[in-house]
C-alpha cells in the first residue's frame, strides 16, 4: 500500500524543522536550534563544511537519527517517532547502497515489494523509472557490471520508483569524476523540474549548490548562516563566513572610518581609502575585511565601470585555465589578490613583474565582519 500524499502545512511549508537540536554525547550540540521551512516542490540544498551539521539534519529528516529536541514535520504531520520505512521518503547516498546480489530490476523492485505492490504494477513502475534515468537497457545487469555513473543513475531510479513526494540526497555525486558530476547535476535538476518532487540535497560543493538549487542553506557550526537563492548568496552574503565559503573572494583588511546603511568608508591597512557596502558593520573604528570577487576586477581603463575605485598592482603570477586567465596580484599590501579575465580574442596578456592599475565598482566591494 502506497503512502498517502502529504499536504503542506497551514503556512505553506511541506518540510519543517521546528527548534530542532541534536547532540550525540548529551553535551555538545551538532545542530543548534534549527528552524527551517521547505516548500512543496522546492529544491533546497544544505551546504557547508564537514562537521557543520548538514548531514545530521538530513539523517534526522530521513529517520536514521533522532532529534534531541524539537519537532520535524512532513506535510504538517510530526514524524519524529515515525520509522524511516514509513515516511515515504526516497533516499540517494554517495555510495549508491545498491544490493550487489540483485539485478538492476530487482534493486528497483525492492522498495515496491516492501510497499505491497503487485507484480504488474511493479514492472510498470520499474520500466518507467529506468526510462527516466535513461537506463532501460540495463534491467538485467548486476551493479558490478555498471560504471560509477550508471550505478548512480540506478540509485536515483530506485529513490524515484515508488513516486515519493520527497527525495533526500546525501553527497550523491561525490564519487564521480568532474565531467560526469556536472552532467548528473543537470540530469537531477531536469528530473526535479519534470516530476515536481521536493528535493533536499546535501553537499560541500558550492558549485553544485549554486547550479541546482532553488534555495541554499549555508551551515556552519550547527547553525544556518544564511538561507537564500543562489544569486543572493553569491551577490549579497550576510557575513564573512558565507562570503568566503561561496565562491572565491579577495580579502583586504582595513578599518571602518565612516558607515551608513548602504555605504562604508574603509581605510585599508596599506593606507588607501575605499568605499564598500557594509555587511554586519556596527560602528566606526571596527576592523573589517573588504571582499571583492575576482571576476569583478578590471585592469583595462575602458572596461572599468564609472566611479570605479582604482589601485596600483603588480602582477605576481598568471595561470592559463582555458576559458580564463587567473592572475595573482600584489595589491594594497596583499600578494594574494586574484583577478579573473576571460580568454577572448585580443585579450591583453599580462606577465609577472608588470605594473598595472586595477579597478572595480564600489558596489562590488563588501565591508564584512572579520572572521
Closest CA to 56 of 41, 45, 46: 46
Return the pLDDT at 11. Answer: 62
Q: Is the pLDDT of residue 3 over 70?
A: no
Residue 1 pLDDT grade (very low, low, confident, very high; cuts 50, 70, 90): very low
Rounded distance between C-alpha atoms, residue 284 and residue 290, angstroms: 15
**Average confidence score pLDDT of the chain:** 90
* % of the chain residues with pLDDT over 70: 97
**CA dihedral sign, ordered 300, 302, 308, 312:** positive
Return the pLDDT at 306. Answer: 76
Taking the domain 13-235, which CATH number applies?
A: 3.40.50.300
Chain centroid to Cα 108, Å, comes to: 28
Q: Is the pLDDT of residue 210 over 60?
A: yes
Return the pLDDT at 174. Answer: 82
Weakest mean pLDDT among 107-116, 201-210, 300-309? 300-309
Closest CA to 54 of 173, 181, 217: 217
Average pLDDT over residues 128-133: 92
* Cα distances (angstroms) measured from residue 186 to each of 50, 160, 191, 193, 198: 25, 16, 9, 10, 16
Instruction: Select the more confidently predicted residue: 5 or 181.
Output: 181
Average pLDDT over residues 47-57: 94
Average pLDDT over residues 24-38: 95
**Domain 249-368 has what CATH class?**
mainly beta
Compute the chain's Rg from CA coordinates: 25
* % of the chain residues with pLDDT over 90: 70
Q: Is the pLDDT of residue 57 over 90?
A: yes
- pLDDT, tens digit, for every residue of 278-331? 988 888 999 999 999 999 999 987 777 777 888 999 999 999 999 999 999 999
Return the pLDDT at 7. Answer: 58
Q: Is the pLDDT of residue 46 over 80?
A: yes
Q: Is the pLDDT of residue 270 over 70?
A: yes
Q: Which sequence spans correspond to the domains of the chain?
A: 13-235, 249-368
Average pLDDT over residues 14-25: 96
Return the pLDDT at 173. Answer: 87
- pLDDT, tens digit, for every residue of 230-253? 999 999 898 889 988 998 999 999
Return the pLDDT at 2. Answer: 39
pTM comes to 0.88
Return the pLDDT at 353. Answer: 95
Rounded distance between C-alpha atoms, residue 57 and residue 31, angstroms: 7
Q: Is the pLDDT of residue 4 over 70?
A: no
Amino acid at each position: 500500500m502506497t503512502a498517502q500524499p502529504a499536504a503542506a502545512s497551514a503556512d505553506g511549508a511541506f518540510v519543517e524543522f521546528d527548534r530542532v537540536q541534536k547532540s550525540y554525547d548529551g553535551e555538545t550540540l551538532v545542530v543548534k536550534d534549527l528552524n527551517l521551512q521547505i516548500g512543496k516542490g522546492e529544491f533546497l540544498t544544505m551546504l557547508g563544511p564537514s562537521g557543520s551539521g548538514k548531514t545530521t539534519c538530513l539523517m534526522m529528516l530521513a529517520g536514521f537519527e533522532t532529534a534531541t529536541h524539537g519537532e520535524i514535520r512532513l506535510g504538517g504531520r510530526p514524524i519524529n517517532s515515525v520509522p524511516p520505512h514509513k515516511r515515504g521518503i526516497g533516499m540517494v547516498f554517495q555510495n549508491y547502497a545498491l544490493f550487489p546480489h540483485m539485478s538492476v530490476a530487482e534493486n528497483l523492485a525492492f522498495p515496491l515489494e516492501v510497499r505491497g505492490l503487485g507484480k504488474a504494477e511493479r514492472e510498470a513502475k520499474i520500466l518507467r523509472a529506468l526510462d527516466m534515468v535513461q537506463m532501460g537497457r540495463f534491467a538485467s545487469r548486476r551493479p558490478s557490471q555498471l560504471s560509477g555513473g550508471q550505478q548512480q543513475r540506478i540509485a536515483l531510479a530506485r529513490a524515484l520508483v515508488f513516486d515519493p513526494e520527497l527525495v533526500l540526497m546525501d553527497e550523491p555525486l561525490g564519487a564521480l569524476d568532474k565531467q560526469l558530476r556536472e552532467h548528473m547535476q543537470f540530469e537531477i535538476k531536469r528530473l526535479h523540474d519534470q516530476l515536481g518532487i521536493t528535493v533536499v540535497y546535501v553537499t560541500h560543493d558550492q558549485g553544485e549548490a549554486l547550479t541546482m538549487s532553488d534555495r541554499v542553506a549555508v551551515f556552519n557550526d550547527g547553525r544556518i548562516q544564511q538561507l537564500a537563492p543562489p544569486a543572493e548568496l553569491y551577490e549579497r552574503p550576510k557575513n564573512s563566513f558565507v562570503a568566503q565559503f561561496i565562491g572565491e573572494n579577495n580579502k583586504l583588511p582595513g578599518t571602518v572610518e565612516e558607515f551608513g546603511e548602504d555605504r562604508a568608508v574603509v581605510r585599508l591597512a596599506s593606507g588607501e581609502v575605499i568605499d564598500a557596502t557594509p555587511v554586519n558593520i556596527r560602528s566606526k573604528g571596527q576592523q573589517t575585511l573588504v571582499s571583492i570577487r575576482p571576476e569583478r576586477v578590471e585592469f583595462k581603463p575602458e572596461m572599468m565601470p564609472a566611479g570605479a575605485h582604482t589601485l596600483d598592482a603588480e602582477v605576481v603570477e598568471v595561470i592559463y585555465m582555458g576559458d580564463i586567465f587567473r592572475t595573482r596580484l600584489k595589491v594594497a599590501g596583499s600578494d594574494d589578490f586574484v583577478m579573473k579575465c576571460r580568454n577572448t580574442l585580443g585579450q591583453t596578456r599580462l606577465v609577472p613583474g608588470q605594473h598595472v592599475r586595477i579597478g572595480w565598482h564600489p558596489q562590488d566591494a563588501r565591508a564584512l565582519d572579520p572572521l
